[in-house]
Structure 1
């Protein structure tokens, strides 16, 4: 075969592959499952996956920092720690020890909307995880004491010091909550809470919070892996069925967010490089526009060929990184663009170029090639993570929590694939307005700069 314009047959074949359009239909991936509810209100979602003799147990309590009240913040994150400190039938320190004995591991996390706990372990040890999770759901208070609460209160305070107050750029995130949401809004305080609130919380306050939000009727349990459905149902009933239903869950106040100007904050920190964060209010998780905003974040900063990376890092070389994402919540979301200036350059320079690129989105909407690249990146990332039962368990819980449908993945992929350049231009014009946003700039502390203080 003759070469065409200097291209070998192998390279021509590669170009043909790159030209193949990817559609949402081609990318469809289902998450078949069984969903049911126990009499006490616990939602159970089961999926068989016999690819490995492992199982993932993933429980979401539908309580996050957004369920707290002004003056009593940090409770959801505090319980993320307390629930690992033993329950009535699990002595302190044995939760991890017993799981490790059977080859398992576990962890948890807290957000503005939910708290989750998970275990990954050999399938023959599934009952161990169910026993441990059910005991801290139904029998935590029997072993909880003021001393345990005080101990974990101190742990959380130290975590705040390490990850927020003393971490490079760490104060950006609590500042962001305060800047973007009015005082008293459920999202206006950081998930980790405030030091003074953690100190002021009484033991009775903590007990009341647990009784209010940690019942089976405010939780969803997902089990994915090497299981048999009917046998697993019996195990779930055995360990969770006798836990009484909790009290009705109080509704969250949903105050409006009257944000119609640009708000700026400058933070001094022990860093060497300036960083800028731009933030806009966007609609709640999975509502109209959510898929388009996900695609927009990829077009802007998803990889080295994205618009912002190419301009800031590659062409102008005034920034060493750039990121963009839509942080989604039930009450509303925040679209965030951040970038760290390169040595010798300023956050103001970086911000100016970001503004230019945001304006260009309206003049020159993303091309079909850019959209395909963004979709392919999101699709490939999802497929890669779906190989692990841990991610599958968590995504089933996530989709159930936010949409009511654990098998929402096909619909989400379809929505991503349906986004076009007009959608992205409209979203930019509607939500990402240049003078209706929050801007946080981090600059080196003056004394550190003068004295050669330690940076990152």
Structure 2
């Protein structure tokens, strides 16, 4: 790692950016394709379309019918999946090295010819799948919509990041076949994508296959709507606090803080601050809330890095016994204020940097993780070679920089707060309480 990974870049005539990284340690290779489209690109009334389309991409293309993409990859000994976030949609296969060509052909076939197979039946089928996913992961589980609610509070109405990738039931129902086709034509084009191939490959042969299968796919010649969310302007009306009385196991306090944009030194400092404060059982919040005061059974503070909008710091604490949300909030405020006043100790900073280093090296230890990160740096920051600089930058951050980030961002006027009360205990209070108070 000290010398960095070998990274080669190419751009096809149709605008597809290609990143290759040769590694013969094991006889496997990863193919990863990032499209520069996520929930931030959706318009009002059509939320969830990016995630719905991720599902549609596995429903067949001109040469690959039905579930054939899964069947062919798995029959060849590979694994595959796709995910959707605020900022991108990715698709990836990890294959035995001699099966890389198959993965490239499959990805090219659906990039170039998905519309040949996209019909009302497949749309309705996958719409039902996504709606069921929403029920199982969000609507019908305790605290399931917490992140969705906090995101909507943190990024005001009209902001590209106001809604999460899962979308709303009403918008999923409203999506038409023509909506889906327009979405594909706009965003699923070679000049809106980055393809990374990492592992036991011959770069020359791999590039020849890429040119063969992707080179004839036409570029999208229209403009894509700009969806910059780097500025957050509040109107002073939308509530930044909500109290819910629901069927949940215990009271809970959740907070969301707007933090620096990913790709900046301040974002690295924020990552270190949140690691010291709320990552693992040695963190300050865990020691205070769980071990010392016994107000909570869990206490965590994590960072969702975002490049096109302020990153999101997510604090989550479930209470213990009869502890009140007021007591938990007061303890959190004290710990954040103390951290802002003192900064991290040398031991805390060293431990946080070691933790981030371990997680980063674990990520890059797999060809799939490395391919995904190369795509991320290419799509979001324009340069896949920044991967080799990421860890040294984190290790250079000083205690003073971490403290400065805490003082600037971890403040009561820069957060949204969501609290929960179990329905059995809170029924009487709910009759008179304003949830937006």
Relative to the length of structure 1, the TM-score reads 0.89
Match for residue 417 of structure 1 among 390, 395, 401: 395
User: Deviation string for 1:92-145 (max 9, x for gaps)?
Assistant: 011111111111111110000000010111111111111111111000000110
Q: Measured at CA, do residues 253 and 91 of structure 1 come closer, stay the same or move farther in structure 2, by a change above 3 Å?
A: closer
Q: Measured at CA, do residues 29 and 433 of structure 1 come closer, stay the same or move farther in structure 2, by a change above 3 Å?
A: farther
Match for residue 61 of structure 1 among 21, 35, 38: 35
Q: Measured at CA, do residues 344 and 448 of structure 1 come closer, stay the same or move farther in structure 2, by a change above 3 Å?
A: closer
The residue that corresponds to 1:41 in the other structure is 15
Q: Note the C-alpha offset of 1:449.
A: 8.2
Q: How does 1:146-225 map to 2 (within 5 A)?
A: 146-225=120-199
Rounded to whole Å, the distance in 2 between the matches of 1:231 and 1:334 is 42
Rounded to whole Å, the distance in 1 between the matches of 2:262 and 2:35 is 18
User: What's the secondary structure of 1:402's corresponding residue?
Assistant: helix
The residue that corresponds to 1:383 in the other structure is 361
Say whether residues 1:309 and 2:286 are aligned partners.
yes
Say whether residues 1:300 and 2:274 are aligned partners.
no
The residue that corresponds to 2:255 in the other structure is 278
Q: Note the C-alpha offset of 1:258.
A: 2.2
User: Deviation string for 1:332-358 (max 9, x for gaps)?
Assistant: 221221111123323332221111100
User: What's the secondary structure of 1:265's corresponding residue?
Assistant: strand
User: What's the secondary structure of 2:116's corresponding residue?
Assistant: coil
Rounded to whole Å, the distance in 2 between the matches of 1:424 and 1:169 is 31
> Which 5+ residue runs of structure 2 have no aligned equivalent?
429-437
The residue that corresponds to 1:394 in the other structure is 372
The residue that corresponds to 2:382 in the other structure is 404
Runs of 4+ in 1 over 3 A off after TM superposition: 253-256, 259-262, 446-450
Do 1:46 and 1:223's aligned partners in 2 also have CA atoms closer than 8 Å?
A: yes
The residue that corresponds to 1:257 in the other structure is 232
Rounded to whole Å, the distance in 1 between the matches of 2:403 and 2:412 is 14
Q: Note the C-alpha offset of 1:30.
A: 1.4
Q: How does 1:22-171 map to 2 (within 5 A)?
A: 28=2, 30-171=4-145
User: Deviation string for 1:231-263 (max 9, x for gaps)?
Assistant: 111111111111111133424244642249771
Do 2:273 and 2:403's aligned partners in 1 also have CA atoms closer than 8 Å?
A: no
Rounded to whole Å, the distance in 2 between the matches of 1:196 and 1:398 is 31
User: What's the secondary structure of 2:40's corresponding residue?
Assistant: helix
The residue that corresponds to 2:434 in the other structure is none
User: What's the secondary structure of 1:407's corresponding residue?
Assistant: helix
Rounded to whole Å, the distance in 1 between the matches of 2:407 and 2:190 is 43
User: What's the secondary structure of 2:280's corresponding residue?
Assistant: coil
Rounded to whole Å, the distance in 1 between the matches of 2:105 and 2:63 is 9
Task: Supply the RMSD in Å over aligned alpha carbons.
Answer: 1.9
Rounded to whole Å, the distance in 1 between the matches of 2:401 and 2:56 is 45
Q: Note the C-alpha offset of 1:410.
A: 3.8
The residue that corresponds to 2:418 in the other structure is 440
Rounded to whole Å, the distance in 1 between the matches of 2:161 and 2:119 is 29
Say whether residues 1:291 and 2:268 are aligned partners.
yes
Do 2:150 and 2:255's aligned partners in 1 also have CA atoms closer than 8 Å?
A: no
Do 1:28 and 1:413's aligned partners in 2 also have CA atoms closer than 8 Å?
A: no
Q: Report the number of matched residues.
A: 424
The residue that corresponds to 2:333 in the other structure is 355
Rounded to whole Å, the distance in 2 between the matches of 1:80 and 1:135 is 15
Do 2:245 and 2:427's aligned partners in 1 also have CA atoms closer than 8 Å?
A: no
User: Deviation string for 1:415-436 (max 9, x for gaps)?
Assistant: 2122222212211221222233
Q: Measured at CA, do residues 29 and 270 of structure 1 come closer, stay the same or move farther in structure 2, by a change above 3 Å?
A: farther
